[in-house]
């Protein structure tokens, strides 16, 4: 590789890093301004923003029509997911309004795990508490940003971590969506979903039973 080629490569990398850093700073500033507002309003606004962004970028992407994610393909719903506290509050509210009973015992077991040892749990315990028997999310409209931006181009069967590695899955990727979610996690705080949900249930007095569906919104 010539010196000129190497210099051009470094310049492109630096330009991309600068672009992403400014994007992250822009979203961080925006989210800091919203941090003191009511939790479900903040979560709903950020979710609407990432949906709008993803729709816009998919409209410009030549291969977005090849995204294979469909209702019922749910291997990704057994992976650890980081969310922010406002999302947890919104999820508990959505479960309550949908009459979805949360499995508090499973949340307690999951809460003892980290990203590193998540897969050491029994298969049934790894599943998201919002995953229905039909393989569909029972609070789909209120799903976290982490779920909204995870879109794959490869066969959904390859998302099965029992049989394949992450390298076997081809993702449709949006750098801006990644920066937006990173800004949200850094601004609002981050935690694995089980712990965040238990904290939200504690605030509403639902933690002991997990019966979010029994309480009025």
pLDDT number for residue 212: 56
165 φ/ψ angles, rounded to the nearest 5 degrees: -100, 165
- The H or E element that residue 20 is part of is helix 3-34
User: Using CA atoms, how far apart are residues 183 and 28, in angstroms rounded to an integer?
Assistant: 5
Q: What's the pLDDT band for 168 if we cut at 50, 70, 90?
A: very high
Find the domain containing 79 and state its range.
3-214
pLDDT number for residue 216: 38
* pTM of the predicted protein model: 0.89
User: Using CA atoms, how far apart are residues 52 and 86, in angstroms rounded to an integer?
Assistant: 19
Contact 197, 107 (CB under 8 A): yes
Count of domains observed in the chain: 1
What's the maximum distance between 2 C-alpha atoms anywhere in the chain? Answer: 68
- End-to-end C-alpha distance for the chain, whole angstroms: 63
pLDDT number for residue 211: 54
* Tens digits of residue pLDDT in 93-110: 999 999 999 999 999 999
């Amino acid at each position: 590789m010539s010196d000129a080629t190497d210099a051009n490569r470094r310049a492109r990398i630096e330009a991309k890093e600068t672009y992403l850093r400014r994007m992250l700073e822009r979203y961080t500033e925006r989210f800091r301004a919203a941090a003191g507002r009511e939790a479900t309003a903040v979560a709903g606004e950020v979710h609407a923003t990432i949906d709008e962004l993803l729709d816009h970028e998919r409209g410009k992407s030549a291969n977005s029509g090849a995204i294979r994610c469909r209702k019922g393909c749910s291997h990704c719903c057994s992976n650890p997911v980081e969310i922010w506290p406002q999302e947890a509050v919104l999820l508990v509210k959505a479960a309550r309004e949908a009459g979805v009973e949360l499995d508090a015992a499973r949340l307690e077991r999951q809460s003892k795990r980290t990203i590193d040892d998540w897969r050491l749990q029994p298969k049934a315990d790894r599943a998201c508490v919002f995953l229905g028997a039909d393989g569909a999310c029972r609070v789909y409209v209120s799903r976290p940003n982490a779920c909204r931006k995870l879109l794959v181009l490869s066969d959904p069967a390859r998302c099965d971590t029992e049989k394949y590695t992450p390298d076997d899955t081809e993702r449709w990727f949006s750098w801006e969506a990644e920066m937006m979610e990173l800004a949200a996690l850094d601004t609002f705080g981050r935690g694995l979903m089980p712990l965040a949900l238990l904290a939200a249930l504690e605030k509403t007095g639902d933690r002991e039973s997990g019966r979010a569906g029994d309480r009025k919104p």
